[in-house]
Amino acid sequence: MDWAEQEYGGSFKVVKVNHTPNPNIIAKYKVYGLPTLMVFKDGELVEDSHREGAFTKAILKKYIEDHILATVNA
């Protein structure tokens, strides 16, 4: 995921949360599968940005364009 920040010119920040020591975060955001991607803007979860499960780089790029870049530019 670190490549994504660099490839998109620092338009967003990637934050990784380890699920084991953070059960309250996992419960709050209803994380049922790993990995899970979520987009936050101004500290709030962006609607319809929650995605769980494995993905390819191509799928991740599409997710970034649809959810992250659209949100950052909104």
Q: What is the mean pLDDT of each run of 10 residues along the chain (74 residues)?
A: 83 89 95 91 87 92 85 71
Question: Per the structure block, which two tokens stand in for 66?
Answer: 């649809």
* Residue numbers of the domain that contains 34: 2-72
Tokens 């709030």 map to which residue?
44
- CATH number for 51: 3.40.30.10
pLDDT at 70: 78
- pLDDT score recorded for residue 39: 86
Which pLDDT value is given to residue 74?
Answer: 64
Number of domains in the chain: 1
